[in-house]
Amino acid sequence: MSDTQKDPLRVLFCIGVTQNFFDLPESDIGAVWKGYGEMMSAMNAMPGVTILGTMDDDRTMVGSSASWPWTVYIMADVVDLDTVVAACNLFRTVKVGEFRLWKYGKIEARVGRALIIQGG
């Protein structure tokens, strides 16, 4: 990086599926999954966001996630804090029927920096 460029923020987006999702009738679940897909596609397309990897914990963590352990994790390099906030805001803007995605899930961002492993 040049002296004028800052290192990106290393961000772990932690996503939890809430009880509202599990209370839905089976016929309504597909619309929520579509909303999650829209949110993740929008995050991936955001300028200044480089997704490094994802992890879905749904095989060994069953049920709603009010906090850790989360259901889904997205690790990304993000240009600045405003962009992190905009990515989290997707839960407020993505529509699922007459509701917003935040009715069915939550997101928290852990913001840090890349860890450089010495001697490797």
Rounded to the nearest integer, the mean pLDDT of the chain is 92
Contact present, 83 and 49 (Cβ < 8 Å): yes
Q: Residue 69 has what pLDDT? A: 84
pLDDT value for 2: 46
Q: What is the pLDDT of residue 120?
A: 63
Q: Give the pLDDT of residue 6.
A: 87
Block means of pLDDT (10 residues each) for the chain, 120 residues, are: 74 95 95 96 98 89 81 96 98 96 96 86
CA dihedral (83, 84, 86, 91) in degrees, to 10, reads 160
* pLDDT recorded at residue 60: 77
Dihedral of CA 106/108/53/1: which sign?
positive
